[in-house]
Amino acid sequence: MPDADSMKDVFISYAHDDSREVVKQLTQELQTMGLDVWQDDISMSLGDSIRESIDEGFSNSRYGIVVCSESYFEGTSEWEFNGLVKKHIKEGDVILPLLHGVDHSYVFDHSPSLADLVSETITEDNVESVATSIYRVVNEDDRESDVWGEGEDGSLFQSVDIRFQGNFQPNIGDKITITSWRNHNAPSLNQLEATEILDENGVEYPSSSKGTVMTIDTIEEPLECVVSDIQTLRSGRAEFTVRIRKSRLEELSDDPSDYRML
C-alpha cells in the first residue's frame, strides 16, 4: 500500500470501447483543476475482473470514478459489483459512479447493488460540471449527496491566457505559480503577461521583457494555477492558458487606483 503522499487523488475505471473520448476530456479537466489522476483503461475479455481492477485502483488512489457504460458491463458478474459496493461502504463512500450512454434502469438490470449508489450522468457536453462535482468531493472531503449526484452549475475555475518572455517551456497539466505579472487591461484578468513564474519544483523563471509601460498588480499571495492549453512555445517566448480558481481572482481588486505603473 503506497503512503499518503504518493497516492493519486482519483482513479478512473472505464471501458475503452465506448468511453475513451469522454474520459480523455474528463481526465484533462481534472488535471487542470490540479488533481492527480490514475487511469485504468479496461478492454474487457473472457476472464477479466472489474473487481480486481477496482481493487488495484483503490490501492493507489483516494477515490474511484467508475464510468458505467454498455461495454463496461460486458462479461462481468453481479458478484463482482457486489464486492465493489462492499468496498465502497467499508472504505467510506469512495466510489463515484458516472453513467455514460446508459441510464439508471440499465445499470439496475445489470447490477442492482451498483445502481444503489448515487451517480451522475456524463456526456461530452457536461464534462466541466461533472469535473467540478468530483473536485468538490475530493477537496472538501464532503461525501454527502448534496455534493455528489446533484450536478454543478458552472466551474470553480476560470481560464486566463498567459504570455511570458523568457525560457519557460510548460506542458499541459503542469502546476505553476505566477508570483508577479503585468496587465495591459487592468483590472481585467483574462489576459496577463507573467513576469515571474515558479514551476512545481520551485524553479524560478524571470521574464526578459523590459521597458514597456504597463499596469502591474501588487499581490500578497501568488496565483497558483494549472496549464490547460498551449498556444506558442519557442525560444524566449511562451503563450499558454491556465486555470485559476474563480474565488482567487475575485479576491483581486477591480479598482484601477490599486494598480501602479511600471
Contact call for residues 262 and 216 (beta carbons, < 8 A) = yes
Name the nearest CA neighbour of 168 among 230, 104, 250, 82. 230
80 belongs to the catalytic site: yes
Q: Determine how β-strand 157-164 pairs with β-strand 191-199.
A: parallel
Nearest residue to 45 (alpha-carbon basis) of 76, 80, 14, 82: 76
Helix (H) or strand (E) holding 37, with range, is strand 37-42
Sequence-ordered list of residues with C-beta below 8 angstroms from that of 15, at least 6 positions apart, any chain: 42, 43, 44, 67, 69, 71, 72, 74
b/e sequence 189-223, b meaning 16+ C-beta within 10 Å: beebbbbbbbeeeeeebbbebeeeebbbbeeeebb
What letter does residue 51 receive in the DSSP assignment?
H
Rg, C-alpha atoms of the chain = 21
Of 80, 120, 152, 193, the active-site residue reads 80
The amino acid at residue 181 is W
Extract the C-alpha cell encoding 19: 468511453
Positions annotated as catalytic residues are 80
